[in-house]
Structure formats: structure tokens, C-alpha cells
Amino acid sequence: MTTLRTSNSPALDARLSAAAAYVRPGHAAADIGCDHGKLSAYLASTGRCPVVYACDLRPGPLQKARAACAPLGERVQLRLGSGLSVLRPGEADDIIIAGMGAETIMEILDAAPWVFDARYNLVLVPATKHTLLRRWLAQRGFALQAETLCRAAGRLYAVMNARYTGETTPEPELRWCVTGLTDGQPEAAAYRAAQCVKLEKYRRGVTDPAQAARLDALIRTLKEEGN
């Protein structure tokens, strides 16, 4: 995916471009962990969202976002605080959480029970532990609608779009947790290889024979698919 830019809007890298594409036009959005504010500014300046809540835990990044979004007036509202605690339920229908590890994303969502509702459109960009996040989503009743693999600053990202259905899967299939909906995408082979390396590292610490056998089988499958 190429860098996305329209007139009078900030340029987004492939990761943020993929995230922006999953935000529904005409809906208020919350950019959790907004950092420099480029995504917030893009969503507001292009008219994709009538209002964007740019949120961050740290004053420094929020100050950068304030500067980036200053020309947009009330279309971008800045909030300082932890996770989704800065929002009232229903203030934003589309929620983007990017730039943090899967475990932090899971903690943010668990701390806001109101997001367990089909009205909310989640755009999640985990920096680490993609497998863990997919498993958590399935166990908590969220369905993956789509995923986009992209490369930014030399790293592969899986940008996930999820909605709550209430249909939980206590033990989601391991192969799906590892690769999700990424098969067939241009970066799929590289992604499988990277995920396989992580699985092998994890496998070295597994002592349960049944679990070890399942992991060995999946590792073989992923390697065969890469040949």
C-alpha cells in the first residue's frame, strides 16, 4: 500500500493509510494513542469524519497533535488520558487503537465494557503479538471483518478491522490465530515466515507434549506453504 494523501491533508504511511481505510465515512472517530496526530488530522481534513477525538496518555505527543490539528478547529478535539477512559460511551463510533502492543490494546478494550457492542467499529494496529490479539478477539466475541498487511519503516503490520457479535470462540483454531485473514495478500509469504520464526521461539519453551505436537505441526505447515 502506498502513502495516502489528498490536498491539504497530511501524508500517511502505509500503516496509517490502511487504518484510515477501515474508518467508516460520516462517523465520529477516536484515535487512541494519537501520537503526532497525523491520522486524526487526515480523517478530519478529508471530511471522512465529522469529528475526531485525538487521545493520548502523554502530554508531549498530544502537544504535537495539537499543532498538527490546529487548522481544523473543533473538527479535532484533543483528550489527555488513559485509553478509552477519555470518552463517553457513544461519543465515537469508530475507534482506532494503533502504535502499542497487543496486550495494551486488550487492556484498553477490557477496561471499557461499552465497546462490546455491534455499533462500534474497531481498527486495531498491534505493534506486537498479533496472534494473541486475534485469539483474544475471538474469545471475547469480536469478529475480524478484514485485515490488511502492510510494511512501514521496514516492519510488517497487520491492520485489523473488528466488530462485536457476541459469538465467542473459547478455543480458536491456532492457524487462524497466527495468520488471520492475511492469506493471499502481497506480503502474505513474508508474514507467514515472520510468524513462523516467532512460533519456533515460543515452541522452545513449551514442555506439554500435546501442545508441542500441535505447534510442530503448524510450523511444518507454514514452512511448506512458503516453499
Identify the three-state secondary structure at position 172: coil
What is the reported pLDDT for 204? Answer: 94
Asked if 192 and 219 sit in the same domain, the reply is: yes
Query: Which residues of the chain register pLDDT less than 50?
Result: 1-7
Identify the three-state secondary structure at position 31: strand
Asked if 20 and 98 sit in the same domain, the reply is: yes
In degrees and rounded to multiples of 5, residue 218 shows phi and psi of -70, -40
Helix ranges, 77-208 (H): 102-110, 130-140, 174-179, 188-203
- How many helical (H) and strand (E) elements, i.e. helices and strands, does the chain have? 8, 7
Asked if 23 and 94 sit in the same domain, the reply is: yes
Q: Indicate which CATH number applies to the domain containing 86.
A: 3.40.50.150
Identify the three-state secondary structure at position 153: coil
In degrees and rounded to multiples of 5, residue 221 shows phi and psi of -60, -45
Exposed / middle / buried, residue 204 (Cβ in 10 Å: 0-12, 13-18, 19+): exposed
Task: Count the neighbouring beta carbons within 10 Å of the beta carbon of residue 40.
Answer: 30
What is the reported pLDDT for 224? Answer: 87
Q: Is residue 209 situated within a structural domain?
A: yes
Asked if 119 and 216 sit in the same domain, the reply is: no
What is the reported pLDDT for 2? Answer: 42
pLDDT digits (tens, 9 = 90+) for 77-131: 999 999 999 999 999 999 999 989 999 999 999 999 999 999 999 999 999 999 9
Q: Is residue 181 situated within a structural domain?
A: no
